[in-house]
Amino acid sequence: MQWYNYFSGFFAGMFLANFVPHFVKGIAGDSFPSPFARPPGKALSSPLVNVLWALLNLIISYLLFRFGNVAFKDNLSIIICFTGFISMSIINAKVFVHKDKHFTNFK
C-alpha cells in the first residue's frame, strides 16, 4: 500500500468518530454544536442539522475508507484507521466537555 492509503484510512477513522456524537444527538432530538451554527462551532444546531452533518461525515468516512483500501486483512491499515478514530474521539471529548456551559449562552 502507498502512504496516501494509510493517510486516507486515518482520516476515514476521524470522520467516522465525528459521525457518532452528531448522529446520536440528532436522532435523540437534542441540539448540539456543529459548524453550521451561528456563530459557527460555538452555538447549538438543530437536531436535523446534526443528523445531516453526521450523514455527510459517514459518507466521507466511507469514501476515504474505500479510497484508502483499508482491509481487515491488512493489520496496519486497520490500526491506522482506529488511530484516527481514537484521535477524533479524544478531540471531541475535550471540545465538548463544557458544551452545556459554553454553548447554551448563544441560544
Which position has the grid cell 452533518? 53
Percent with pLDDT over 70 in the chain: 90
What is the rounded CA–CA span in Å between residue 21 and residue 67?
Answer: 24
* Long-range own/partner contacts, residues 32-37 (CB < 8 A, 24 or more apart): 32/99, 33/96, 33/99, 33/103, 37/106
* pTM for this model (two decimals): 0.85
Domain ranges of the chain: 3-106
pLDDT digits (tens, 9 = 90+) for 11-43: 999 999 999 999 999 999 999 999 998 877 678
